[in-house]
């Protein structure tokens, strides 16, 4: 099922397309209507397997995935998507299921929101994730390449390499690493990293940053087991090792 939103003059480019994947029909109906009212194109799917097939034929700009679904759950769907796509993803998680939240972030989700949720809060999170993704794609930092020892960060191309091997980073991971690498040796608090990755006025739990940093480290250690450039200062924050 798909729901087409009407173009809203608040948008200065073509409306974004969002995939909504949930086995709860009430959520599909109410949330797709709210998204359409905001000017988004919406594609809805009742489970992960249906969504995987649909997204291969009709790409979107962002996906909102429930975790617990029949046939293919949200975790499995995200794993399949990440094999060939950096599509921004927001997870819908059970109210108190912290394991789901952490697993989702480790798999490469950009954000999560707990059920039951405020539609207004979700809309703000969607806008924040899309802003981050769009900013990473825009040619506003031409020539802005950060070189730190064996690491190269190319903001213009959203490209990161370590010892000439490419590190496949999500938008959020790239922005966090960039914030740390711009000033090696300087400590960034979790609040500062939240602002760098999510923007101001968006509330994200400190543990979200910790999960993203753990995933960053795992990705680099997969390229080089001796990678130790991201340092933790317990109770303070993180820093990129000074050269």
What pLDDT score was predicted for residue 151?
93
* DSSP-assigned letters across all residues of 10-25: T-SSSPPEEEEE-S-H
CB 61 within 8 A of CB 28: no
The fraction of the chain above a pLDDT of 90, given in percent, is: 37
Same domain, 79 and 121: yes
What pLDDT score was predicted for residue 2?
47
Mapped onto helix, strand or coil, the DSSP state of residue 167 is coil
- 183, 185, 187, 192: CA torsion to nearest 10: 10
Ramachandran region, residue 238 (left: φ > 0; alpha: ψ -120 to 50; beta: rest): beta
Judged against a pLDDT cut of 50, whether residue 199 lies above it is answered with yes
Judged against a pLDDT cut of 90, whether residue 98 lies above it is answered with no
The mean pLDDT of 167-196, rounded to a whole number, is 88
Banded model confidence at residue 102, pLDDT cuts 50, 70, 90: low
CB 21 within 8 A of CB 63: yes
Same domain, 120 and 18: yes
How many other C-beta atoms are found inside a 10 Å radius of the C-beta of residue 83?
A: 6
Same domain, 126 and 26: yes
Count the domains in the chain. 2
What pLDDT score was predicted for residue 222?
92
Q: Which residues of 170-182 are buried (b: 16+ CB within 10 A; e: fewer)?
A: bbbbbbbbbbbbe
* DSSP-assigned letters across all residues of 94-129: -TT-HHHHHHHHHHT-SEEEESS--HHHHHHHHHHH
Mean residue pLDDT of the chain comes to 82
Same domain, 95 and 126: yes
CB 16 within 8 A of CB 62: yes
What pLDDT score was predicted for residue 135?
65
Banded model confidence at residue 180, pLDDT cuts 50, 70, 90: very high
Same domain, 150 and 55: no
Judged against a pLDDT cut of 90, whether residue 84 lies above it is answered with no
Banded model confidence at residue 192, pLDDT cuts 50, 70, 90: confident
Q: Which of 100-104, 155-159, 195-199 has the lowest mean pLDDT?
A: 100-104
Mapped onto helix, strand or coil, the DSSP state of residue 16 is coil
The mean pLDDT of 171-184, rounded to a whole number, is 89
Measured between alpha carbons, how far is 80 from 74 in angstroms, rounded to an integer? 10
CB 213 within 8 A of CB 160: no
State pLDDT tens for residues 33-66: 999 999 999 999 999 999 999 998 999 999 999 9
Judged against a pLDDT cut of 90, whether residue 227 lies above it is answered with yes
Structure token digits, residue 29:
């109906």
Judged against a pLDDT cut of 50, whether residue 7 lies above it is answered with no
Judged against a pLDDT cut of 90, whether residue 19 lies above it is answered with yes
* 0.85 surpassed by pTM: no
Total residue length of the chain: 243
Which uninterrupted H or E stretch holds 89?
Answer: strand 89-93
What pLDDT score was predicted for residue 116?
79
| CATH number of residue 181's parent domain | 1.10.10.10
Final residue belonging to a domain, choices 113, 137, 161: 137
Q: Domain of residue 35: give its range.
A: 2-137
Same domain, 132 and 157: no
The mean pLDDT of 105-131, rounded to a whole number, is 82
Final residue belonging to a domain, choices 119, 137, 155: 137
Banded model confidence at residue 20, pLDDT cuts 50, 70, 90: very high
Residue closest to 174 by CA, chosen among 192, 152, 189: 152
The mean pLDDT of 161-183, rounded to a whole number, is 89
Residue with tokens 């999510």: 198
């Amino acid at each position: 099922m798909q729901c087409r939103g009407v173009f809203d003059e608040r948008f200065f480019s073509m409306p974004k397309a969002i995939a909504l994947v949930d086995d709860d029909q009430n959520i599909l109906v109410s949330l797709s209507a709210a998204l359409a009212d905001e000017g988004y194109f919406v594609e809805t799917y009742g489970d992960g397997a249906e969504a995987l097939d649909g997204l291969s034929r009709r790409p979107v700009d962002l996906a909102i995935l429930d975790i617990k679904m029949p046939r293919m759950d949200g975790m499995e769907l995200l794993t399949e998507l990440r094999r060939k796509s950096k599509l921004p993803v927001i997870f819908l998680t059970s109210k108190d299921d912290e394991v789901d939240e952490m697993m989702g972030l480790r798999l490469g989700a950009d954000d999560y929101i707990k059920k039951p949720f405020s539609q207004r809060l979700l809309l703000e999170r969607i806008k924040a994730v899309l802003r981050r993704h769009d900013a990473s794609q825009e040619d506003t930092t031409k020539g802005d390449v950060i070189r730190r020892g064996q690491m190269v960060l190319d903001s213009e191309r959203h490209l990161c390499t370590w010892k000439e091997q490419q590190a496949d980073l999500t938008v959020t991971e790239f922005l966090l690493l960039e914030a740390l690498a711009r000033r090696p040796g300087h400590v960034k608090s979790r609040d500062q990293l939240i602002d760098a990755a999510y923007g101001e006025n968006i509330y994200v739990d400190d543990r979200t940053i910790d999960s993203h940093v753990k995933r960053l480290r795992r990705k680099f250690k997969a390229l080089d087991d001796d990678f130790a450039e991201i340092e933790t200062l317990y109770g303070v924050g993180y820093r990129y090792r000074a050269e």
